[in-house]
A and B are shown apart, each in its own frame.
Chain A
Amino acid sequence: DGGITQSPKYLFRKEGQNVTLSCEQNLNHDAMYWYRQDPGQGLRLIYYSQIVNDFQKGDIAEGYSVSREKKESFPLTVTSAQKNPTAFYLCASSFDRDQPQHFGDGTRLSIL
């Protein structure tokens, strides 16, 4: 089945630690996105990539980093510089920026 796989489903971070969230897609999509979702709020864009080896900051990129070395993969690192990392993180992809975005089932990150 084609789709977007996010792992792990739940992740815990200690103070001062970097953690990496995985996002893999087998839909042959060029564009990939990371969003953050907080209770009672809409989705906010962290980073996006329209093609391999290229990515741009979204609205709330501070404290996060990404890479796009392969078309299928777009990992997100939550660094220790992100002071409020507790949230639900969603990855999405689309054929290109003008096509509909489809989402994975998210990773919930909590602080120990």
Chain B
Amino acid sequence: GENVEQHPSTLSVQEGDSAVIKCTYSDSASNYFPWYKQELGKGPQLIIDIRSNVGEKKDQRIAVTLNKTAKHFSLHITETQPEDSAVYFCAARGTGTASKLTFGTGTRLQVTL
């Protein structure tokens, strides 16, 4: 089955700096890659996603890039703010009738003043 690895597990940046979180996946047939933000005591919130026919997608300060050849995708947050502090999860979904999301183990992002 699919295996998703996420790095780093923790990341601390100063306010205004950029943050990058990277994920690799094992199933070359995977075609959908969402990113979720989870605040303490809450459920994950979808912040951006990308499909395999696109190499990059941007939404204001957040962008995701996908390299299908290397089987990795990354989340980029620019001009970080304290409210960006949270745990971020990547996920990958394969194809087929039993396709399901496989999640990474999460990155705890801390934005310091």
Contact = CB atoms under 8 A, between A and B. Distances in A.
Nearest to A99: B32
Contact of B42 (A43, A59, A97, A105): A105
Interface in B59-76: none
Contacts of A53: none
Given A90-B43, A105-B42, A105-B43, A42 B100 contact: no
Interface residues on B, range: 20 to 34
B103 A103 contact: no
A42 B46 contact: no
A67 to B, nearest CB: 20
B8 interface: no
Contacts of A48: 100
Interface residues on A, range: 20 to 34
Contacts of B9: 40
Interface of A: 4, 6, 40-45, 48, 56, 58-59, 90, 92, 97-98, 100-106
Contact of A56 (B32, B44, B98): B98
A55 B99 CA distance: 14
Contacts of B49: 100
Q: Which of B34, B44, B106 has the most CB of A within 10 A?
A: B44
Given A42-B103, A42-B105, A100-B46, 8 more contacts: A40-B106, A42-B102, A43-B89, A45-B101, A100-B49, A103-B43, A103-B45, A106-B42
